[in-house]
Amino acid sequence: MGPLVDWLGPWRPTVPVVHPGGPGIIDTVSASLGLDPQAARHSRDSLAENGNLGGAAVLDVLRRTHRDPPASGDGALMVAFGPGFFGVACRGTWLN
C-alpha cells in the first residue's frame, strides 16, 4: 500500500471502488487510506455475494457504485489486484 499512498499524496477518495479479493484486502486498503469502513460497503457486498472473481471483480463493485451513486464531484479511486500481487489504481472525479 505504500506506493499507492505515496502516489496519492495528501489526496484521499470519498468514493473507493476496492477490489473484493478478500476481507484483508478491503480492510487494508480502507485503513491505509483512512476510510470509514462503511465506505467499502459495495466491496464487502460483492465479496459476500460473488466471492473473489479475480482482477475483474472490481467491475462488479463499480456497477454497485453506479446503482448507489455518490455526489457528483466526489473524488473516486478504483483499486484492483491480480495474481502475484499485481495492483493497479486509477483516480478520478465522479460525475452524475
What's the grid cell of residue 31? 485503513
Distance CA 21, CA 14 (A): 20
pLDDT tens digit sequence for 5-39: 999 999 999 999 999 999 999 999 999 999 988 99
| DSSP 8-state symbol, 68 | S
- Domains: count for the chain: 1
DSSP secondary structure string for all residues of 41-80: HHHHHHHHHH----GGGHHHHHHHHHHS---TT-EEEEEE
Quote the pTM value. 0.91
Percent over 90 (pLDDT), the chain: 84
Domain harbouring 84, CATH code: 3.40.47.10
Domain that holds residue 80: 2-93
